Amino acid sequence: MSATADRPFRRVLVANRGEIAVRIIRACHEMGMEAVAVYSDADRMATHVRLADHAVRLGPPPPGESYLRIDAVVDAAVSTGAEAVHPGYGFLSEREAFARAVEDSGLAWVGPPPAAIAALGDKLAARRTAASVKVPCVPGTLEPAPVDRPDEVDAIVRVARDVGYPLLVKAAAGGGGRGMRRVLSPDELPAALLAGSREAASAFGDGSVYLEREIMPARHIEVQLLGDAEGTVVALGERDCSTQRRHQKLIEEAPAPGLSEADRRRLHRMAERLGAAAGLRNAATCEFLYDRDGSFWFLEVNTRLQVEHPVTELVSGVDIVQEQFRIAAGRPLSARVRAAAERAARPTSHAIELRISAEDPARVFAPTPGRITRWKMPAGPGIRVDTAVEAGDRIPAEYDPLIAKLVVLAEDRSGAIERLRRALDEAEVGGIQTTIPFHRAMLDEPGFVDATDLSTTWVDGHWDGPAARLPWARAALLAAGLVSIDDGTRPDVTGVGAGSTPGGGGRPDARSDGGSAAWRVGGRAIAIDRWPA
């Protein structure tokens, strides 16, 4: 059967930008569907615009004037004759109002229905749903905390004492750490509630916050769910996303290291139970904390496609985006999905994803927007790169700094790590600093390599801050010095300078052959590109 004969829709609007828009457009084309791109003025010549069959301008670069305008996005879909809207992740992907506006316009929404977004996307509603089906929740409140109410301060302080310190003030809507505040004592609570609420209101249009005990140390493990209109909800497997910084994920892998088959089955069943209770249809991710005692604690549900979905795709053999389209068209879960769910607790391969962002890990991951002068990504067996970036592109300051996802698949975790090392040695980025040095360092970190020290707080405790970075900087200087003695060159180890191509792997650019192989190997072995500063 041809792709056109089997296509779920004739034309789809992709309500996003960057690598995820490119990913979705490619899925559309493989299924015989046309794709409509939307763009801001900053993205007028972006890859996703050039790949699409049609493109509609939304407005100026600020997201509030372009990608977050529900009216403009829906109008673009209707005016171009689209039959469905795929939101990707971020922006409007978890806005119930957007999903309803799409459906009210007679278009198909490629994601969980508005009712499920309300039941699961709101963290408090999701916690109540989890409690109703006996899925253990992280201890905390099930209702919004009072904010800026002096008469309620004593009551919320008493509640916080029962929850236990340290605790987190968390936004009920959205994610990514926005609206989150860590509280160590009762004296800090009122200010944290107010600040968290204001940030949440600014980021998500909803200032509701709640209290949750901080479980430390813990791993972050999430389950990929798919559900159809017949009420079937299945787990495609789990991912470990513990390597993160301030609640922003940096490395993800599937399956989660160290879990037994019984652990996986228990985790998958809990997630499926919660999804079924909320009437899940399409794709969602159920997130848990995994503590040192081997207990899983429900955290939240993301009612959208996740950034890290490729690792599950590679291990399960399921194209999650294409399956999203089929489900949105009213089709039941495919035989491929059901078979993958049956074997999810017994994985036979391992995938790891590195998020490559325009950020400087040597400067507490500060964004580094600018023009990319050189762009060479790795290739070869078991390697996938999801990106929308090309040499010459300018990375705008208005949007998330993620520029690529490097994903590898191997027979086991050790093989995946070795493949990543090879892949990173091939990667070259010029013009801006990226997170590649951080990833090189992590692949040599014993606690990560042998999976004995995975936790959501590892990066914050071992990497951030000048004191924490000092060992890395000293090692870099030593390696650079030794290599310069070996080959007679004097590599620049103070940042971008005459001896290195900016962001280009730290290679001297005075030689037409791209520089000394000894410097390239020696410097990269210590995970240094333009470091230390």
Which among 409, 127, 366, 355 is positioned nearest to 241, based on CA atoms? 355
Q: pLDDT for 117-173, tens place per residue?
A: 988 878 898 999 999 999 999 999 999 998 877 778 889 999 999 999 999 999 988
CATH number at residue 21: 3.40.50.20
The pLDDT score that the predictor gives to residue 477 is: 52
Residue 353 lies inside a defined structural domain of this protein: no
Angle, to 10 degrees, between the axis of helix 153-163 and the axis of helix 189-204? 90
Question: 12 with 82, same domain?
Answer: yes
Question: Among residues 164, 189, 213, which one ends one of the domains?
Answer: 213
Residue 59 lies inside a defined structural domain of this protein: yes
Question: 266 with 328, same domain?
Answer: yes
Question: Among residues 176, 194, 213, which one ends one of the domains?
Answer: 213
Question: 72 with 93, same domain?
Answer: yes
Cα distance between residue 440 and residue 475, in whole Å: 13
Q: pLDDT for 351-401, tens place per residue?
A: 999 999 999 998 889 999 999 999 999 999 999 999 999 999 999 999 999
How sure is the predictor about 331, in pLDDT bands with cuts at 50, 70 and 90? very high
Q: pLDDT for 159-187, tens place per residue?
A: 999 999 999 999 988 677 889 999 999 99
One-letter amino acid identity for 467?
Answer: A
Cα distance between residue 527 and residue 296, in whole Å: 34
Residue 388 lies inside a defined structural domain of this protein: yes
Residue 245 lies inside a defined structural domain of this protein: yes
- Count of all residues that appear for the chain in the document: 533
Residue 72 lies inside a defined structural domain of this protein: yes
From 150-159, 286-295, 297-306, 336-345, the region with the lowest mean pLDDT: 150-159
Mean pLDDT in residue range 408-425: 98
The pLDDT score that the predictor gives to residue 3 is: 57
Question: 116 with 56, same domain?
Answer: no
Mean of all residue pLDDT scores within the chain:
88
Question: 9 with 132, same domain?
Answer: no
The pLDDT score that the predictor gives to residue 463 is: 85
Q: Which CA distances in Å does 142 have to 155, 218, 261, 509?
A: 15, 22, 32, 58
**Domain coverage including residue 28:** 3-110
CATH number at residue 196: 3.30.1490.20
DSSP E strand boundaries for 64-125: 84-86, 108-109
With a cut of 80, say whether residue 525 has pLDDT above it: no
Question: 101 with 190, same domain?
Answer: no
As for how many domains the chain has, the answer is: 5
Residues 6+ apart with CB under 8 A from 260: none
With a cut of 90, say whether residue 227 has pLDDT above it: yes
DSSP E strand boundaries for 103-231: 108-109, 167-171, 181-183, 209-213, 218-227
Mean pLDDT in residue range 472-476: 58
Q: Which CA distances in Å does 278 have to 7, 52, 88, 217, 231?
A: 28, 34, 21, 30, 10
Residues 6+ apart with CB under 8 A from 264: 237, 238, 255, 256, 344, 345
Mean pLDDT in residue range 186-200: 93
Residue 308 near residue 353 (C-beta atoms within 8 A): yes
Give the number of other Cβ atoms within 10 Å of residue 2's Cβ.
7
Which among 192, 432, 224 is positioned nearest to 311, based on CA atoms? 224
- Residue 113, token pair as written in the block: 């229905």
pLDDT cut 90: percent of the chain above it: 77
Please provide residue 98's backbone torsions phi and psi, each rounded to the nearest 5 degrees: -70, -45
Question: 395 with 450, same domain?
Answer: yes
Tell me the pTM.
0.86
With a cut of 80, say whether residue 527 has pLDDT above it: no
Cα distance between residue 237 and residue 256, in whole Å: 9
The pLDDT score that the predictor gives to residue 164 is: 94
Cα distance between residue 533 and residue 530, in whole Å: 7
With a cut of 50, say whether residue 266 has pLDDT above it: yes
Listed in sequence order, the DSSP H helices in 167-212 are 189-204
Mean pLDDT in residue range 321-325: 98
Question: Among residues 443, 462, 481, which one ends one of the domains?
Answer: 462
The pLDDT score that the predictor gives to residue 246 is: 86
Mean pLDDT in residue range 11-39: 98
Question: 103 with 232, same domain?
Answer: no
One-letter amino acid identity for 291?
Answer: D
Residue 533 lies inside a defined structural domain of this protein: no
The pLDDT score that the predictor gives to residue 122 is: 82
One-letter amino acid identity for 307?
Answer: V
pLDDT cut 70: percent of the chain above it: 86
The pLDDT score that the predictor gives to residue 109 is: 98
Question: 331 with 417, same domain?
Answer: no
Residue 408 near residue 349 (C-beta atoms within 8 A): no
Q: Which CA distances in Å does 357 have to 228, 251, 322, 395, 421?
A: 34, 12, 26, 10, 18
Residue 286 lies inside a defined structural domain of this protein: yes
- Residue 156, token pair as written in the block: 């919320």
Which among 46, 59, 28 is positioned nearest to 388, based on CA atoms? 46
Residue 276 lies inside a defined structural domain of this protein: yes
The pLDDT score that the predictor gives to residue 526 is: 41
With a cut of 80, say whether residue 485 has pLDDT above it: no
Which among 374, 367, 370, 431 is positioned nearest to 395, based on CA atoms? 370
Question: 236 with 324, same domain?
Answer: yes
Question: 246 with 372, same domain?
Answer: no
Place of tokens 């799409």: 102
Mean pLDDT in residue range 445-455: 96
Helix H, strand E, coil C: the string for 43-55 is: HCCCHHHHHCCEE
Q: Which CA distances in Å does 494 have to 23, 57, 206, 477?
A: 37, 42, 44, 9
Residue 13 near residue 75 (C-beta atoms within 8 A): no
Question: 378 with 388, same domain?
Answer: yes
Q: pLDDT for 29-68, tens place per residue?
A: 999 999 999 999 999 999 999 999 999 999 999 999 999 9
Residue 43 near residue 17 (C-beta atoms within 8 A): yes
Mean pLDDT in residue range 450-472: 80
The pLDDT score that the predictor gives to residue 481 is: 53
The answer to whether the bond into 166 is cis (omega within 30° of 0) is yes
Write the burial class of residue 438 (CB in 10 Å: 0-12 exposed, 13-18 middle, 19+ buried). Answer: buried
Please provide residue 124's backbone torsions phi and psi, each rounded to the nearest 5 degrees: -70, -45
The pLDDT score that the predictor gives to residue 471 is: 66
CATH number at residue 127: 3.30.470.20
